[in-house]
Structure 1
């Protein structure tokens, strides 16, 4: 059975549309990733604060990267069996996912990477249907 997958991805969520001869399935994967790692703690404007109250930037970055890795692994697990993969989205997540797919020897399945803005689930499904209908 030929499985074709299209996915819209950013750091907050991925919408995965799987198209087979039996029909179409839409799955949403939500990430636990904060958009930007931020320092927590009191603001110097509010008064004095101790340096040990503020986590180091490298620990914030490690946490951010760890959350991204878990998120990308979940996305890859849902598209691993696809014969053709179309990836699109507004930011850097699509390119980072592409690199992860290359590291998992799945880059041969990628049929396209596109930059698009935010889309509804219906718009995403239509775009994927049209893409794979044209590529037949």
Structure 2
């Protein structure tokens, strides 16, 4: 059975559209849509700081950014693992979304033995509704009839 996957992903959510052949194949494709919420914490933007009294450009308070960056990296890896667990039976994968998360997911997929080489294309796409995502995935795989 052929399973085609389309993923719209950003740091908050991954919307996964799965298209699989029905039995018998003349019946077309079956579509399923799943959303995975990320638990990646947002970046904190610190402003200001406290200068040393009497000098306007004294030392500033600095957050311990390396710990929060390491924590975010670990959360992102767990997010990608949950996405990859959902798509583990995929024959072809199409990834889209804004920012760099889509490319990071592609790299994570290519590092896994089970899914390596199955990413067909990565495309930049702004915010989309679930219906728009499903339509774009069907269009990418040139599937018109959903049976």
Which band: TM-score by shorter chain? 0.7 to 0.9
Query: Is residue 118 of structure 1 aligned with residue 127 of structure 2?
Result: yes
2:98 paired residue among 85, 90, 101:
90
Equivalent-residue separation in structure 1 for 2:49 and 2:32 (angstroms): 47
| Richer in helix (by share) | 1
Report what 1:80 is aligned to: 88
Runs of 5+ unmatched residues, structure 1: 46-50
Report what 1:130 is aligned to: 139
Map residues 1-136 of structure 1 onto 2, 5 A cutoff.
1-22=1-22, 23-38=30-45, 44=50, 56-105=64-113, 106-133=115-142
Q: Higher Cα Rg: structure 1 or 2?
A: 2
4+ aligned runs moved over 6 Å, structure 1:
none
Runs of 5+ unmatched residues, structure 2: 23-29, 52-60
Contact 1:37 1:64 in 2 (8 A): no
TM-score, length-normalised on structure 2?
Answer: 0.78
SS in 2 for 1:133: coil
Equivalent-residue separation in structure 2 for 1:117 and 1:111 (angstroms): 19
SS in 1 for 2:142: helix
TM-score, length-normalised on structure 1?
Answer: 0.84
RMSD: 2.2
Contact 1:38 1:60 in 2 (8 A): no
Equivalent-residue separation in structure 1 for 2:111 and 2:85 (angstroms): 14
